[in-house]
């Protein structure tokens, strides 16, 4: 065993480890300390784990529905059988009418959402970064979120009549507050050290917003966008349902409205199902992947 005091003769060498020693030690430490990713499940198993539970739940729902229908507890015109509804649904698909309804409603919702995004983004930035703006209209913007946008329909009809403008107005009033609030929450959650780092690197106000604030706020912004989409879609349905007129074309809301006028329950249920499918579909196809990529890149989510 080497005696410790021997090394004091050669203090220079022991005190400052040689470059090669440090090199090796640092490499070893990196290998030991770096977080390891857990074992990956196979692709097929991940997909089945994601798909099977919701499919099972849907099947169970239809089975219960069929069983309740079979007891004839409610009259047929109030509770039709699953197969009657499916026939109406399939009829729409076969005649191609369903695409007309979907196109009319979805393109309105998308246009409304994009306009809402364009208004809400600068509004959110102002609310988050300018104290006076936040003090003045912050409570109003948060409050608007709890006001059902269907409450705007009568006012919009009086202002703009039964036109597309009325519908977009209602969609905007539904979506803008959600998106703006999401962006504000995202910016509020940024650790203060990050903009400081930008400042010491010489970033001006604009460069700081572009390179640091906006990317750092992205998770909150995306959550706001997701909620904003849901609000656009449901506001649109409320508007179409109430402000229904021939000039406005046939959207899903009108289809539902017609079903009610005709006292046709299978048609009403089909309308509800279509609205649900679009809402869930856009969420799964557009927002879920965006959110996954954003959160994974930041290590905020175990995939």
Instruction: Quote the CA–CA distance of 284 and 268 in Å, as a whole number.
Output: 24
34 binds other proteins (CB under 8 A): yes
Instruction: Quote the CA–CA distance of 256 and 274 in Å, as a whole number.
Output: 10
Cβ distance to other proteins smaller for residue 32 or 50: 32
- What's the closest the beta carbon of residue 187 comes to other proteins, in angstroms? 14
Cβ distance to other proteins smaller for residue 146 or 303: 303
17 binds other proteins (CB under 8 A): yes
Q: How many CB atoms lie within 10 A of CB 143?
A: 11
- What's the closest the beta carbon of residue 286 comes to other proteins, in angstroms? 20
List b or e across 27-41, with b for residues whose CB sees 16 or more CB atoms inside 10 angstroms.
eeeeeeeeeeeeeee
User: Could you tell me how far CA 280 lies from the centroid of its own chain?
Assistant: 10
Give the DSSP H/E element, type plus range, for residue 231: helix 214-242
52 binds other proteins (CB under 8 A): no
- What's the closest the beta carbon of residue 75 comes to other proteins, in angstroms? 58
Binds other proteins by CB under 8 A, chosen from 86, 106, 162, 199: 199
206 binds other proteins (CB under 8 A): no
212 binds other proteins (CB under 8 A): yes
Instruction: Quote the CA–CA distance of 12 and 302 in Å, as a whole number.
Output: 47
Contacts (Cβ under 8 Å, ≥6 apart) of 300: 219
- What's the closest the beta carbon of residue 22 comes to other proteins, in angstroms? 5
Binds other proteins by CB under 8 A, chosen from 102, 110, 185, 194: 194
Phi first, then psi: give them for residue 36, nearest 5 degrees: -100, 145
26 binds other proteins (CB under 8 A): yes
41 binds other proteins (CB under 8 A): no
| CA nearest neighbour of 147 among 136, 139, 159, 157 | 139
Stretch that binds other proteins, among 131-139, 172-180, 263-271, 295-303 (CB under 8 A): 295-303
Q: Which two tokens stand for residue 179?
A: 């998106």
Binds other proteins by CB under 8 A, chosen from 58, 114, 201, 290: 201
Binds other proteins by CB under 8 A, chosen from 82, 138, 215, 249: 215
Instruction: Quote the CA–CA distance of 64 and 57 in Å, as a whole number.
Output: 11
Residues in the site for other proteins, rule: CB under 8 A?
8, 11-12, 15-17, 19, 22-23, 25-27, 29-30, 32-35, 37, 191, 193-194, 196-203, 207, 211-212, 215-216, 218, 294, 297-300
């Amino acid at each position: 065993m080497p005696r410790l005091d021997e090394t004091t003769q050669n203090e220079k060498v022991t005190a400052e480890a040689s470059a090669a020693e440090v090199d090796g030690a640092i490499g070893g430490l990196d290998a030991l300390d770096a977080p390891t990713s857990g074992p990956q499940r196979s692709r097929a198993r991940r997909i089945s784990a994601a798909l099977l539970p919701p499919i099972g739940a849907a099947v169970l729902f239809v089975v219960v529905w069929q069983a309740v229908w079979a007891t004839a507890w409610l009259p047929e015109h109030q509770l039709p059988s699953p197969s009657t509804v499916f026939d109406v649904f399939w009829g729409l698909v076969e005649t191609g009418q369903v695409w007309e309804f979907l196109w009319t409603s979805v393109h309105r919702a998308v246009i409304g959402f994009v306009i809402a995004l364009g208004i809400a983004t600068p509004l959110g930035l102002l609310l988050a970064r300018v104290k006076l703006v936040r003090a003045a209209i912050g409570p109003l913007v948060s409050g608007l979120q709890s006001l059902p946008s269907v409450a705007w329909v009568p006012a919009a009809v009086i202002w703009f009549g039964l036109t597309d403008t009325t519908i977009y107005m209602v969609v905007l009033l539904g979506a803008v507050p959600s998106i703006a609030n999401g962006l504000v929450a995202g910016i509020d959650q940024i650790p203060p050290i990050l903009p400081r780092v930008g400042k010491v690197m010489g970033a001006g106000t604009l460069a700081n917003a572009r390179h640091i604030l906006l990317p750092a706020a992205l998770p909150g912004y995306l959550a706001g966008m997701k909620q904003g989409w849901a609000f656009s879609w449901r506001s649109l349905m409320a508007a179409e349902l109430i402000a229904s007129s021939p000039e406005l074309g046939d959207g899903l809301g009108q289809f539902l409205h017609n079903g009610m006028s005709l006292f046709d329950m299978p048609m009403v249920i089909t309308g509800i199902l279509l609205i649900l499918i679009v809402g869930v579909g856009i969420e799964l196809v557009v927002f879920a992947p965006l959110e996954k990529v954003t959160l994974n890149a930041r290590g905020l989510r175990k995939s």
